[in-house]
Amino acid sequence: MRSFLLIILYVCGNAAAGYAQEADSIRRSIGLDKVTVTGNTAAASRQRQPLAVLRTGREYMQENRGSSLMNTLEKLPGIHAFQVGQGFSKPVIRGLGFNRLVVAENGIKQQEQQWGADHGLEIDQYAVEQVDIVKGPASLQYGSDAMAGVIIVRSHEWKPRDGLSGSLLLNGNSNNRLFGGSGNVYYQKENKFVQAQATYQNFESYRVPAKTFIYNGYEYPLHHGVLKNTAGREMDAAWQAGWRNAKYSATLHVNNVHSKDGFFAGASGLPFLVNMDDEGHYRAIGLPYHEGNHFKVVSNQVFYLHSRHKLTVDAGYQYNLRREYSAPHTHGLGTMPEGNLELELRLQTASLNAVWEYRNTPDNILQAGVNAEYQHNRVGGYLFLLPEFEQPAAGIFVIDRFRFSGVLAGAAGVRYDYGSIHIHRYDGFSRVSGMRKPAGDVSFMAGLAYQPDGRWTLKANTGKSFRMPIANEYASNGIAHGLLRYELGDSSLNAETAYQTDVHVAFKQTWGDGFFRHAAAAASVFGSYFPNFIFLHPTGEFSPLPEAGQIYRYVQSRAFRAGGEVEAQVDFAKIFRMSVAAEYVHATDLESGFPVAFTPPLNITGEMSVRWERLWFLTNNRLAVTCRYAAAQNRVARNEAATPAYHLFDLSWAAGIPSGRGMNLLLLLQVQNLFDTAYYKHLSFYRRLDLPETGRNFLITLQILFNN
């Protein structure tokens, strides 16, 4: 079965390569093709941007919905999810993530504990309407942290028709016995809308294809393959309203994402106190666990001041509360006045972005903007990880987008950021001295987009970006549970800068009829040089804490990163689509010659899908087989474990069930990890424990749409 699927994928891969020549010959013989005009002005403006933007909308989400937003987006080339079990994951673009990547929801940068690998992305995936992904430095508009890229999430789109509409989604997973649902009610009248959404998810501990795991050198049993205490709950609510006319538009978003998740009992605290007995309560959440609550209010306003002037103002406030609970004795401590509250982080952020856009001529658009942000962090609990701090930061930028001719467009911009962090002194078991540290620098970029005809696109972009070190890089002093090691900050770090160049070539062609209907291929390469890349380096000195190994300290070094993505897609024989995507990242610390830790290996994804308009009474059927191959990652940092290669197969079937009276049913059935393969993911929280990732998982999603 497996080899059969492999053969299909390889054959398809060859077909894609062979097709390219055929496309050329077809073009030559016909002379001029029929041209199908698709897309809209937004798509056209995206194509003129020098950085490639990947847009996914509702349809993609409906056909690929996984267990979390990142699990859904992970199939896209160049995008990875730093996995923490089933429930949560963090985005990684081209091997960089955490505080080098920005996730912006409704125009406001999502502020979480970005630095922590064990903190998921606190966004309700069922409330997402559209996701744009910019791979490459997008610091100019999105702030200095967007070195690796930006993920832009929108939770509202105006509908073409007025009236009441809604949807109800029910979902379930077999692996962790998840059940959940999400409901949405939307009302739009003329120029006003209001929307409410609620989501609930409840899951058991998940299962892996392994019988034992290793913690601190000893083997512990996993009863029935269950990772004890990895059950969780999620409860989200959102409310949005908006109003628009020819001169002004305003939208207000209020949302709250709440989650409670158990920490795998085998990965926290002293191993001799690990209780791995099978108690049978797979849905119960016991100690250690964490609770996160993310509350956010965002307003988006657009003022159409004049036919040529537009002012966009996005303002937001977020309160990110995170509490981790564990019994003090599992860390070798006695009774604590804080009880079981191990760590509490209370981060409040106020943000303001204002962008003025001046349309000088249709071919020359000037943007000038300002971003300002204020962060206020307080901590609690009996263990120390991160100090309290306040951090005001602001940036101003100017970008000019111009079109030289119908085929050549460009953009250039410059930005200046300045921020200052005030870290509070901490005297306890760990010590951090207070400090005030300002940082400021210039970022710039310039790029060109060349479209000689409707088929080819060539983009090139180069620039410099920088980011200020964050509080944990300056002043952490404790065990980061995300990586199970003792991390020490360094207050003398300098801001990190990067020089990066991207080249992107894309080709697409559409034929009216014939065996081949549509084909597209794209290749992107990037190279970047960091004169002072910040990363954790082993010191050789042991931590005094019993559960930690040696101390890792934040250091700076010259680093080089390069890589790229290649993708091809071909539609043939009316109903088939074949796509192949490959990506690779190479990252080296130039001073030691060692690879940079947590660099994803070579990945190749092949997908074969079939679409039928009608199958019995079902409409819009799509059946897809996906093969994901990850090569071994042997380029590892000091003390980092190498990860062997793996193949994974997924199956998915999406279909619509027409039910009349404005009601539509969408059904999505998926099998992830079809063969229950035991595999390790290089970018995973559990890699250090030699714990394989989730075993076979059946997912079912039923969505009922009313007037939608």
> Binder to another protein among 116, 136, 271, 292 (CB under 8 A)?
271
Pairing between strand 603-615 and 516-542? unpaired
Which two tokens mark 412? 């250039």
**Region 595-624 residues binding another protein, contact defined as CB under 8 A:** 595
Shortest distance (Å) from residue 431 CB to another protein = 18
Contact between 201 and another protein per CB under 8 A: no
Q: In 624-648, which positions are buried (b, 16+ CB within 10 angstroms) versus exposed (e)?
A: bbbbbbbbebebbbeebeebeebbb
> Binder to another protein among 339, 380, 428, 546 (CB under 8 A)?
546
Q: Applying CB under 8 A, which part among 68-76, 145-153, 230-238, 587-595 lies near another protein?
A: 587-595
Contact between 569 and another protein per CB under 8 A: no
Return d(Cα 287, Cα 279) in angstroms, integer.
14
Strand partners, 56: 131
* 210 vs 566 by CB, closer to another protein: 566
Shortest distance (Å) from residue 206 CB to another protein = 24
Contact between 408 and another protein per CB under 8 A: no
> Binder to another protein among 115, 179, 356, 560 (CB under 8 A)?
560
Shortest distance (Å) from residue 294 CB to another protein = 36
Contact between 541 and another protein per CB under 8 A: yes
Q: Applying CB under 8 A, which part among 42-50, 340-348, 593-601, 692-700 lies near another protein?
A: 593-601
* 379 vs 559 by CB, closer to another protein: 559
**Up-side HSE of residue 348: CA atoms within 13 Å toward CB?**
4
* 590 vs 657 by CB, closer to another protein: 590
Strand partners, 241: 194, 252
> Binder to another protein among 537, 622, 681, 687 (CB under 8 A)?
537
DSSP result, 220-247 = EE-GGGB-TT--EEEEEEEEEEEEE-SS
Q: Applying CB under 8 A, which part among 29-37, 333-341, 519-527, 605-613 lies near another protein?
A: 519-527
Shortest distance (Å) from residue 622 CB to another protein = 29
Contact between 549 and another protein per CB under 8 A: yes
Contact between 429 and another protein per CB under 8 A: no
* 153 vs 522 by CB, closer to another protein: 522
Contact between 15 and another protein per CB under 8 A: no
Contact between 185 and another protein per CB under 8 A: no
Per the CB < 8 A criterion, the answer to whether 260 and 287 are in contact is no
Contact between 339 and another protein per CB under 8 A: no
How many residues of this chain interact with another protein, rule: CB under 8 A?
42
Task: Say how far residue 164 (Cα) sits from the centre of its chain.
Answer: 32
Shortest distance (Å) from residue 218 CB to another protein = 6
Shortest distance (Å) from residue 11 CB to another protein = 20
DSSP result, 356-371 = EEEEEETTEEEEEEEE
Contact between 512 and another protein per CB under 8 A: no
> Binder to another protein among 273, 321, 336, 408 (CB under 8 A)?
273
Q: Which amino acid is at 371?
A: N
Contact between 544 and another protein per CB under 8 A: yes
* 501 vs 708 by CB, closer to another protein: 501
Q: In 79-108, which positions are buried (b, 16+ CB within 10 angstroms) versus exposed (e)?
A: bbbbbbbbbbbbbbbbbbbbbbbbbbbbbb
Contact between 262 and another protein per CB under 8 A: no
> Binder to another protein among 244, 403, 586, 696 (CB under 8 A)?
586
Whole-angstrom distance between the N-terminal and C-terminal Cα of the chain? Answer: 39
3-state secondary structure of 335: coil
Residue 152 CB neighbours (<10 A): 21
Return d(Cα 633, Cα 641) in angstroms, integer.
9
In terms of C-beta distances under 8 Å and separation of at least 24 residues, what long-range contacts does 472-476 make, across chains too? 472/115, 472/385, 472/386, 473/115, 473/534, 473/554, 474/421, 474/423, 474/435, 474/437, 474/554, 475/386, 475/387, 475/389, 475/423, 475/432, 475/435, 476/385, 476/386, 476/387, 476/554
Contact between 588 and another protein per CB under 8 A: yes
> Binder to another protein among 31, 39, 160, 217 (CB under 8 A)?
217
Cα torsion 364, 508, 600, 103 to 10°: value is 40
Contact between 632 and another protein per CB under 8 A: no
Shortest distance (Å) from residue 559 CB to another protein = 10
Judged on CB neighbours under 10 Å (0-12, 13-18, 19+), 406 is exposed
Return d(Cα 406, Cα 402) in angstroms, integer.
11
> Binder to another protein among 185, 523, 618, 625 (CB under 8 A)?
523
3-state secondary structure 528-563: EEEEEEEEEEEEEEECCCCCCCEEEEEEEEEEEEEE
Q: Applying CB under 8 A, which part among 224-232, 385-393, 503-511, 621-629 lies near another protein?
A: 503-511
Q: Which amino acid is at 99?
A: N
> Binder to another protein among 364, 433, 592, 659 (CB under 8 A)?
592
> Binder to another protein among 8, 327, 566, 704 (CB under 8 A)?
566
Q: Which amino acid is at 657?
A: I
Interacting residues with another protein (CB under 8 A): 20, 216-218, 270-273, 332, 503, 505, 507, 521, 523, 525, 527, 537-542, 544, 546, 549-550, 560, 562-564, 566, 584, 586, 588, 590, 592-595, 635, 638-639
